């Protein structure tokens, strides 16, 4: 039996020699060492397998999230837990990418949203789409929803009882999507999410959290349409958002 001592420390060499001599005494004439290349190939294969498994798990997980979101959406579509169901044409659950890092939350559907059953599709929605484009995002990259899923009459603010009734659906959406950050669009959404009456200016300039998820507060697109002078501030907020989701 031939051995190559190589650069092993002397103590290990002695143990190795004694082990090989013991094998020799037992009649073992040769042992097979795995060529280094084979070890590399096996590792690469394992890595490939592990990558495929990870992708498959991610795909399954995403499939599960989409399915669970559909189940919540189905419950919302027949929900009569608060008085807002009486005036709705359609419920407005939410749209976008369930694997996103950023979830936009407005206060509630308006007239266009109620008719189409989709969030932010009127003039405000068009502006939101443009603002997303300015930071190289599309609506398909993010998830967009509202605090309440049915239109408050005459576009009034949602009331406490309505928000409390509907919050379970928003919580389910957030728990399933688990965004890196929530972007609260406007004073009403920010106040309900953060349980505060602080000014929008104060909320825009501090770190906020909703059930452990960071919340960045910015203007509602409707406010930007009414007062274009606010757009500079909104642009600063969106730059901050980009920095956070690029981390
Ligand atoms: S607003 Fe929410 S809680 Fe109220 S009826 Fe619609 S889905 Fe149900």
Taking only the tens place, the pLDDT of each residue in 149-197 is: 999 999 999 999 999 999 999 999 999 999 999 999 999 999 999 999 9
Residue 36 counted as domain residue:
no
- Hey, whose CA ends up nearest to atom 4 of ligand 1? 82
pLDDT number for residue 19: 55
CATH no. for residue 136? 3.40.470.10
Q: What is the pTM of this model?
A: 0.78
Containing structural domain, residue 59: 51-245
The Cα–Cα gap between 245 and 247 comes to 6
pLDDT number for residue 15: 55
- Hey, whose CA ends up nearest to atom 3 of ligand 1? 166
Residue 29 counted as domain residue:
no
Question: Is 75's C-beta closer than 6 angstroms to any atom of ligand 1?
Answer: no
Residue 226 counted as domain residue:
yes
Low-confidence ranges of the chain (pLDDT < 70): 1-57, 59-60
pLDDT number for residue 42: 45
The closest-lying atom of ligand 1 relative to the alpha carbon of residue 148 is 1
pLDDT number for residue 247: 86
Residue 26 counted as domain residue:
no
């Amino acid at each position: 039996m031939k051995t190559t001592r190589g650069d092993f420390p002397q103590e290990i060499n002695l143990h190795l020699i004694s082990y090989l001599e013991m094998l020799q005494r037992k009649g073992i004439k040769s042992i097979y060492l795995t060529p280094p290349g084979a070890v590399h190939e096996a590792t690469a294969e394992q890595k490939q397998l592990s990558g495929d498994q990870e992708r498959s798990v991610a795909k399954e997980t995403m499939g599960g999230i989409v399915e669970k979101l559909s189940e919540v959406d189905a419950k919302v579509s027949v929900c009569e837990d608060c008085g807002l169901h009486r005036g709705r044409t359609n419920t407005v659950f939410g749209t976008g990418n369930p694997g996103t890092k950023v979830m936009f939350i407005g206060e509630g559907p308006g007239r266009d949203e109620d008719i189409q059953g989709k969030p932010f599709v009127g003039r405000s929605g068009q502006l939101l789409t443009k603002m997303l484009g300015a930071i190289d995002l599309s609506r398909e990259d993010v998830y967009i929803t509202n605090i309440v899923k049915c239109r408050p009459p005459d576009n009034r603010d949602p009331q406490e009882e309505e928000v409390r009734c509907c919050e379970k659906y928003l919580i389910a959406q957030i728990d399933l999507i688990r965004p890196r950050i929530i972007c609260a669009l406007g004073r009403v959404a920010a106040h309900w999410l953060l349980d505060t009456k602080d000014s929008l200016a104060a909320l825009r300039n501090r770190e906020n959290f909703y059930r452990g998820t960071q919340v960045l507060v910015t203007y509602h697109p409707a406010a930007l349409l009414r007062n274009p002078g606010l757009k500079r501030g909104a642009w600063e907020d969106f730059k901050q958002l980009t920095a956070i989701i690029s981390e």
